[in-house]
């Protein structure tokens, strides 16, 4: 009965999470997606040599080898004859579902009552890491590596050593931080007293890490050491900010304001883990860990997460402290919170009052993530549609500087796949495009200002609207082409930290984004599949 109750309650966060993905996922690449997916697939189509296939699968993309991301793209192509980024989003989510299944299985095997597992689905299936689920490259980097680390730790705890090495190799080649699976496995084998296998494990790990980095560029990561020497405090505090990132409850505030709560909770959670590791060491000395599969599993995952947090805190502050709180990374603090709670269940006698506290905290994190990030996800989708339109018709838009070599590369690449029927741009903006040609009923009084960077447009007539497609777009139209730019809702910066958007919306159209010429500047508003438009003035673009 308690098992049924658990799954009934767990279906709420899991179901809503999957519904959000189904609703807001777009078949649109973004920024770093082009190299590992469209470009990889183009090169795959051009060869028939087996050794070249293998090289393409293991070819680095920036500082990552993402074999499973490329295999997902190939699977989509083989099954449907096309490259679909929504398919890639779902492929990544399947790995997170697998990680969750491993967690539930290991706790169930260790006779932890079902109701004490209720915080797990609320901690994992929340929206703070939406850019990990709705951006293809991050979806197929972070989620596969976490799954294979969890699987490796589970297999080692169960003494299935051969299968664990295979899972470790999969983690190693899922993305760069997968190499930390080897120290995680080392700790498990050491605490397990399985010293005979340690040599084999270390040898396999050294070979795998060598092969991972063989022929790979460093992308100037060595400069992080110099930055660390100049700003050691950023690495110190960055570690705690990163580990406590699940408490980033005010994502629209300044980086300093946002980082206060995560840093505090990161310190508290790390302090708890120090207590845990001291207790584990005492148990190891008494040989009380060798058969405790739950604690061994949690120790392996915790080792991986802490090693990953350390390297992020060391390498990434040079890009800006905000990186400690980017959505792409938020799945890691979510998992660390699950591990921290799991240690409580495995080390202490669970008490109902602590269950209520943990459940209330996890539901609070989950609810606040929906409150803050659901609008963000919706707004991002609307903006991506305008970017995709410009990419399709004007040769830029999907995350790269207009008229740059990179933009030309992306345009050539996407035209290749469109021409061959492998990729199809979304058509969600068809009603708006139709209104541009025939409707002049939109009532709007925009403020249009020419600036050094480009054309600034603001209106207080149309503000944030939670509607699925409700959005205001500016367009520049000539006889040869039409550009489309979405007006973004104005972020709220007042005293109410729970308010996300202020009145009005705006956009800055960069000079480099538009070919010089004479254009009609107009606006089109789309809502519930219906749209209306108007022309505001003539703009001479230089």
Which residues lie closer than 8 Å to 428 by C-beta, 6 or more apart?
385, 469
Res 84: pLDDT: 97
Find, among 136, 42, 88, 30, the residue nearest to 412 by Cα. 42
Look-up of token digits 């107009």: 522
Res 81: pLDDT: 95
Res 306: pLDDT: 97
Tokens of 481: 């082409």
Tokens of 263: 């840093």
How far is residue 185 CA from its own chain's centroid? 25
Res 542: pLDDT: 78
Q: Answer for the pair 85, 24: CB distance below 8 angstroms, yes or no.
A: no
Tokens of 246: 């699940």
Res 309: pLDDT: 96
Res 182: pLDDT: 98
Q: Answer for the pair 329, 380: CB distance below 8 angstroms, yes or no.
A: no
Please state, in angstroms and rounded to a whole number, the distance separating the CA atoms of residues 3 and 362.
Answer: 19
The CATH number for 421-541, chosen from 3.40.1350.10, 2.60.40.10, 3.40.50.1010, 3.40.640.10, is: 2.60.40.10
Res 72: pLDDT: 97
Q: What are the domain boundaries of the chain?
A: 60-350, 421-541
What is the full per-residue pLDDT of the chain (542 aa) written as tens digits? 688 999 999 999 999 999 999 999 999 999 899 999 999 999 999 999 999 999 999 999 878 899 999 999 999 999 999 999 999 999 999 999 999 999 999 999 999 999 999 999 999 999 999 999 999 999 999 999 999 999 999 999 999 999 999 999 999 999 999 999 999 999 999 999 899 999 999 999 999 999 999 887 766 666 677 787 788 889 999 999 999 999 998 888 888 999 999 999 999 999 999 999 999 999 999 988 888 999 999 999 999 999 999 999 998 888 889 999 999 999 999 999 999 999 999 998 777 777 889 999 999 999 999 999 999 999 999 999 999 999 999 988 887 777 788 889 999 999 999 999 999 999 999 999 999 988 889 999 899 999 988 999 999 989 988 889 999 999 999 988 999 999 999 988 888 877 888 899 999 999 888 999 999 999 999 999 899 999 988 988 87
Q: Answer for the pair 517, 478: CB distance below 8 angstroms, yes or no.
A: yes
Look-up of token digits 């070249």: 52
Res 403: pLDDT: 78
pTM exceeding the 0.75 threshold for the entire prediction: yes
Please state, in angstroms and rounded to a whole number, the distance separating the CA atoms of residues 44 and 48.
Answer: 8
Res 356: pLDDT: 87
CB burial of 223-233 (b: ≥16 within 10 Å; e: otherwise) equals ebeebbeeeee
Q: Answer for the pair 341, 358: CB distance below 8 angstroms, yes or no.
A: yes
| Helices 293-315 and 331-347, axial angle in degrees (round to 10) | 150
Which residues lie closer than 8 Å to 81 by C-beta, 6 or more apart?
421, 422
Please state, in angstroms and rounded to a whole number, the distance separating the CA atoms of residues 262 and 242.
Answer: 7
Query: How many degrees, rounded to 5, is the angle at CA 399 between CA 397 and CA 405?
Result: 80
Query: How many degrees, rounded to 5, is the angle at CA 244 between CA 352 and CA 10?
Result: 45
């Amino acid at each position: 009965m308690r098992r049924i109750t658990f799954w009934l309650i767990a279906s709420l966060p899991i179901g809503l999470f999957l519904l959000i993905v189904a609703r807001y996922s777009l078949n649109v690449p973004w920024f770093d997606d082009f190299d590992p997916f469209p470009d990889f697939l183009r090169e795959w189509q051009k060869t028939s040599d087996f050794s070249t296939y293998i090289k393409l699968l293991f070819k680095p993309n920036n500082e990552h080898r993402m074999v499973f991301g490329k295999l997902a793209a190939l699977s989509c192509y083989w099954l449907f004859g096309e490259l679909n980024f929504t398919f890639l989003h779902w492929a990544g989510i399947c790995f997170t579902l697998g990680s969750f299944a491993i967690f539930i299985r290991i706790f169930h095997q260790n006779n932890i009552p079902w109701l004490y597992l209720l915080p797990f689905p609320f901690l994992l299936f929340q929206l703070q890491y939406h850019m990990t689920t709705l951006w293809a490259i991050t979806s197929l980097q972070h989620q596969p590596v976490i799954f294979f680390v969890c699987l490796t730790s589970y297999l080692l705890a169960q003494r299935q050593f051969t299968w664990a090495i295979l899972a470790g190799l999969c983690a190693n080649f899922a993305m760069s931080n997968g190499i930390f699976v080897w120290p995680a496995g080392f700790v498990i084998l050491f605490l397990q007293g399985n010293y005979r296998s340690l040599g084999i494990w270390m040898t396999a790990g050294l070979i795998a890490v060598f092969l991972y980095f063989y022929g790979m560029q460093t992308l100037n990561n060595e400069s992080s050491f110099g930055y660390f020497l100049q700003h050691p405090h950023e690495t110190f505090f960055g570690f705690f900010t990163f580990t406590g990132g699940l408490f980033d409850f005010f994502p629209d505030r300044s980086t300093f304001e946002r980082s206060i709560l995560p840093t505090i909770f990161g310190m508290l959670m790390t302090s708890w883990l120090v207590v845990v590791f001291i207790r584990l060491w005492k148990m190891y000395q008494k040989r009380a860990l060798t058969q405790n599969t739950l604690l061994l599993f949690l120790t392996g995952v915790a080792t991986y997460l802490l090693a990953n947090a350390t390297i992020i805190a060391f390498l990434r502050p040079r890009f800006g402290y905000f990186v400690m709180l980017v959505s792409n990374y938020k799945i890691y603090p979510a998992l660390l919170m699950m591990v921290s709670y799991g240690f409580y269940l495995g080390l202490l006698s669970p008490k109902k009052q602590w269950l209520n506290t943990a459940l209330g905290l996890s539901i609070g994190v989950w609810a606040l993530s929906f409150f803050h990030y659901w609008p963000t996800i919706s707004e991002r989708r609307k903006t991506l549609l305008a970017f995709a339109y410009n990419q399709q018709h004007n040769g830029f838009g999907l995350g790269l500087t207009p008229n740059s070599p990179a933009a030309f590369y992306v345009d050539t690449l996407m035209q290749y796949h469109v021409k061959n029927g492998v990729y199809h741009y979304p058509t969600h903006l068809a009603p708006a495009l139709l209104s541009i040609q025939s409707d002049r009923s939109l009532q709007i009084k925009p403020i249009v200002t020419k600036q050094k960077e480009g054309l600034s447009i603001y209106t207080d007539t149309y503000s944030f609207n939670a509607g699925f497609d409700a959005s205001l777009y500016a367009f520049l139209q000539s006889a040869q082409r039409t550009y489309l730019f979405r007006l973004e809702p104005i972020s709220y910066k007042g005293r109410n930290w729970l308010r996300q958007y202020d009145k009005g919306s705006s956009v800055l159209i960069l000079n480099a984004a538009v070919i010089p010429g004479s254009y009609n500047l107009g606006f089109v508003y789309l809502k519930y599949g219906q749209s209306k438009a108007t022309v505001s003035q003539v703009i001479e673009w230089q």
